[in-house]
Amino acid sequence: MHPTPPARTRAPRPGPRGALRSLLTVLAVLAALLGAGLLQAAPAAAHDATSTAYAEVGGSAARPEATLDLEYDLLMKSAWLYADAYDAKGRAEQLRQLGLNARAVSEYVTGRFAITRDDAACTPRTVGDADIRVRGARPYAVLTLAFTCPAGATGPVTVSSALFPDAESFVHSTRTIVHYDIDGGRGSQILTVTEPSVTAAAARGQESHQVREFFLLGTEHLLFGLDHILFLLSLLIGARSLRDIALTATAFTAAHSITFLLAACGVVEVPAAVVEPVIAASIAVVAIAGFWLRDRTDNARWRLPTVFVFGLVHGLGFAGSLGIDESRSWELLLSLLSFNVGIEAVQLGIILVVFPLLLLLRRSPVHRWALPALTAPIVLVSLYWCWDRVAISA
């Protein structure tokens, strides 16, 4: 007789209390994200977060020019204008308000954004009419300033920004992303309250500082970019195994990295009015499909192609956050790669925290109602974002 093989033992599944704690943890995180997302969706809501300004500085050292992109409602509030101005909806009305209040807007901007040479201020003046463009589902006012530097000044150009300081109480920790191309010298820098200036010539060789700043910007962009986080959560809900999520995350990373670099370098250009609503719609599509088709054996057939396509669109959104709208030289490659690595670091961190909790839920009796409870609010918020972003772009 052959000896009877020992019976196989299964690893104990988490008890109801453990599953419930896991569920409550996931729901609490998701509720916080969704609540913040609804606040973020309304562009005229009170600002309780940071803001990013964008500056493209070019021309010659004697006569530099700067094109500024500033959040529309924040700019109008900071210029101490009435609610009719900062609550304006739609491109046509916002342009009209910018025209009516051109003097107040110009005084505010020229008082907060400066260019100097040999420590002497260059004289600014507004050029042309202001414009409106959409960045990350928010309308931005676009203004062009021309500067005349003092005669006889021969030193390098220094760009300084004090736009939207904490003292105005509308936002905090404002950053100004500066891209400059002056007399052949190219570079980029992030200006903050602690480092409010960049000298074009001196910025060369500061690779380590540039890497750190753009890495942190990438981490913050994904961490506080709730649409991208909800898309990632939708992918996690639909994944059945670690292999699934590894393949899906790889497809998403490869896709958004391709379009991010191409768009940031000016090879591909798609208006934000198209990109942002599609990003919001992609969250709903992936969340619904991931929930209904998660148990099918051919799950990977639709997941990888769909995630790759939507990843291409998300990459365009990442590029828009850097404020690069024109064809740039490859000197910016270090900044772009640092920004992208920051995005990947946060993405990996979210996967390591959330996916194990979701696996615990799937092994517990509560998964039948827990997964729909997680999916439904994601779909509702993403559809609201889609509608809101289409309305803003109209």
Lowest mean pLDDT among 42-51, 76-85, 339-348: 42-51
Could you tell me what percent of the chain has a pLDDT over 90?
Answer: 21
Does 34 have pLDDT greater than 90? no
- Tokens read off for 238: 């639909």
pLDDT (0 to 100) of residue 298: 57
pLDDT for 1 equals: 47
pLDDT at 8: 44
Q: Which pairing describes strands 185-191 and 138-148: parallel, antiparallel, or unpaired? A: unpaired
The per-residue pLDDT for range 263-281, each reduced to its tens digit, is: 777 677 787 778 888 888 8
- Please determine, for residue 67, whether its predicted confidence score (pLDDT) is greater than 50: yes
User: What integer pLDDT is reported at residue 221 of this predicted model?
Assistant: 79
Which DSSP helix (H) or strand (E) runs through 238?
helix 226-238
- Range of 99-108, 240-249, 283-292 with top mean pLDDT: 99-108
**pLDDT tens per residue across span 359-389:** 887 777 777 777 778 888 888 988 888 888 7
pLDDT, tens digit (0-9, with 9 covering 90-100), for 116-169? 998 899 999 999 999 998 886 788 999 999 999 998 888 889 999 999 998 888
Task: Return the percent helix, strand and coil in the chain, to nearest 5.
Answer: 55, 20, 25
The end-to-end CA distance of the chain, in Å, is 81
Burial degree of 10 (CB within 10 A; 0-12, 13-18, 19+): exposed
pLDDT above 70 for 327: no
In this predicted structure, the answer to whether residue 204 has a pLDDT above a threshold of 90 is no
Look at residue 23 and tell me whether its pLDDT is greater than 60. no
Instruction: Write the CB contacts of 125 (distance below 8 Å, at least 6 apart in sequence).
Output: 145, 146, 147, 148
Please give the pLDDT value at position 44: 34
Instruction: Return the closest-CA partner of residue 369 out of 2, 17, 11, 20.
Output: 20
Largest CA distance in the chain: 105
Measured distance CA(101)–CA(81) in Å, rounded: 8
- pLDDT tens track for 44-54: 333 346 788 99
**Rounded average pLDDT over 15-22:** 50
Give residue 208's pLDDT.
67
Question: Minimum mean pLDDT among 23-32, 139-148, 188-197, 274-283: which range?
Answer: 23-32
Residue 10 — pLDDT band, cuts 50, 70, 90? Answer: very low
The model's pTM is 0.65
